[in-house]
Amino acid sequence: MTTLILMADPNGGGGLGAIIPLLLIIVIFYFFMIRPQMKRQKEIQKFRESLQKGDKVLTLGGIYGKVVEVHDTTVILEIAENVRVKVEKAGIIKDNSDIQQPQK
């Protein structure tokens, strides 16, 4: 019968070897997940701050509208002739210029 005994490195060098893969995973996660999401959020925030009267937009609820008034945190959208709604800027997701209008 043979007994196999595993011994830890007496110098304690195994700790660094175990941490490197973990650090590598964190770096990869940051560059492929967190950084692009932060960039997207900055672009959306910049878009919402640059809203102007006359812009055609799409809301999170799927409503197409034209910006009539811009306030600090809200905008007034005209969604049909003489139909206006007040919407939070956070509820506006895109400029209508790059969205295809639904066919009537």
Domain locations in the chain as residue ranges: 14-50, 52-104
pLDDT recorded at residue 17: 79
pLDDT recorded at residue 27: 92
* 93: nearest Cα among 45, 53, 52, 54: 45
Distance in angstroms (rounded) separating the CA atoms of residues 73 and 88: 6
The CATH code that applies to domain 52-104 is 2.30.30
* Token representation of residue 101: 């209008």
**pTM as predicted:** 0.61
Q: pLDDT by residue for the chain (104 residues), tens digit each?
A: 666 555 555 555 566 778 998 999 999 999 899 999 999 999 989 998 889 999 999 999 999 999 999 999 999 999 999 999 999 999 998 876 655 555 55
